[in-house]
Amino acid sequence: MMSTRLLALFQPHAVRRSLPQICSARLSSLRRQHENITTAFCQPGSCFFNKSDDHKQRIWPPLLAGHSCGTRFFSLTPAGIVNAAPASVQPYLRLMRLDKPIGTWLLYLPCMWSIGLAADPGCLPDLRMLALFGVGALLMRGAGCTINDMWDKDFDKKVSRTATRPIASGEITSFQALVFLGGQLSLALGVLLCLNYYSIALGAASLSLVVTYPLMKRITYWPQFVLGLTFNWGALLGWSAVKGSCDWSVCLPLYVSGVMWTLIYDTIYAHQDKDDDLKVGVKSTALRFQENTKLWLSGFTGAMLSGLVLAGANADQTLPYYCAVCAVAIHLAHQIYTVDFNRPEDCWKKFASNRNLGLLLFLGIVTGNLWKKRNDHQYETQLNSISN
């Protein structure tokens, strides 16, 4: 009798039936525990789930790491990539905010604008430069976050939103963070060395701003202004990387516009933490402006739009560019007049929407540049340079 049961158990068709049944039972149990996991499907050798973002970080990685019915499957979102990384690596990825790419976008977008404006009439932006600056933005944003967390570890421990950051929570020591910072800066230097000498010197000049920005919240109510000076350095660097030097009639208005933009979005962001900032004794424009914040942000919007118009005029931009500037104006007006500064989640939503604003302006720059007509003299000059 026992031998008959064993033979039946090891028959191929029995194995094919039992393995899906085991997986299905396990997944049914998970559905009951977590109602947001909506679909489950399991075959021998693979598992696939559709799940809500709410439970992604708590359930998905542990489930897949230990589940016997398939290979590890992960989301390609930034948070999914971080969660799928080895446990020893995850704190470093979170230290450089790889799971929160909005900051990288806000650093990268002024670079994109500048590279787009520097493109030859009728041409697309330099794709190699866009790729180099994309990598550089990722590395320098990570380095900036590492420096910020090293300076602010004692403050971060006292604020609920930041208490889980890797240095504040003790996952990473200050020395480990310093070594990691050195690695990020070394890689960023490698990217910088791919540019011309003028741009190398200009890029190196921004490092003092990167290092000192986190200290500004201790001594002034305008740390967002210093952040603007830091985050928009790419508006100068992008043009010089393409052209060999800065045309200040274009680069300076663009840079000032970027600084004003940062004052807008980071003041909105700072309203999330204004109560905690008061408790720990740090300063921000949100505390400086208080009930007059919308009036101040409206003034910054006017200055930003003026700078964009001036930069576009000096770069000989065309109608699509100015249409994009009008769309930016509408976007900013909507942000400012609908934001509820007493609701942190709304502040975050408005802050994060600035990625779309920046991409909208970049689209206007590219489209406006493609509308330009290149005259015969430009073609002759290019042909002569090629023949020589």
pTM of the model: 0.77
Q: How far apart are CA 304 and CA 353, in angstroms?
A: 17
- Please write the tens of the pLDDT for every residue from 252-284: 999 999 999 999 999 999 999 898 888 888 999
The fraction of the chain above a pLDDT of 90, given in percent, is 65
Question: What pLDDT is recorded for position 381?
Answer: 62
Residue 381 vs residue 168, higher pLDDT: 168
* Residue 63, pLDDT score: 34
Residues 207-243: tens digit of each pLDDT: 999 989 989 999 999 999 999 999 999 999 999 999 9
- Alpha-carbon gap, residue 180 to 69, rounded angstroms: 37
Q: In the CATH hierarchy, which fold is given to the domain comprising 93-371?
A: Tetracycline Repressor; domain 2 (1.10.357)
CA distance 141 to 131: 15
Q: Whose structure tokens read 């500037």?
A: 325
Q: Examine the pLDDT at 73 and tell me if it is beyond 70.
A: no
Stretch 94-117: mean pLDDT: 96
Question: Is residue 377 pLDDT above 70, yes or no?
Answer: no
- What is the C-alpha end-to-end distance of the chain, expressed in Å? 92
Query: Which residues, 6+ apart, have CB-to-CB distance to 31 below 8 Å?
Result: 37, 40
Q: Do residues 38 and 50 touch, judged by C-beta distance below 8 A? A: yes
Sign of CA dihedral 341, 109, 194, 138: positive
CA distances for 71 relative to 42, 47, 63, angstroms: 11, 7, 11
Asked if residue 32 has pLDDT above 60, the reply is no
Whether pLDDT at 373 is above 90: no
Report CA-CA distances (Å) from 100 to 19, 77, 123, 152, 339.
38, 10, 33, 19, 21
Per the listing, tokens 């994309």 go with 134
Range of weakest confidence among 1-15, 131-145, 172-186: 1-15
Q: Is 48 left (phi over 0), alpha (psi -120 to 50) or beta?
A: beta
| CA angle (312, 318, 324) in 5-degree steps | 70
pLDDT tier for residue 374 given thresholds of 50, 70 and 90: low
Token code pair at residue 14: 């029995």
Whether residue 169 is predicted with pLDDT greater than 60 in this model: the reply is yes
The ranges assigned to domains in the chain are 32-73, 93-371
pLDDT digits 0-9 by tens, 315-347: 999 999 999 999 999 999 999 999 999 999 999
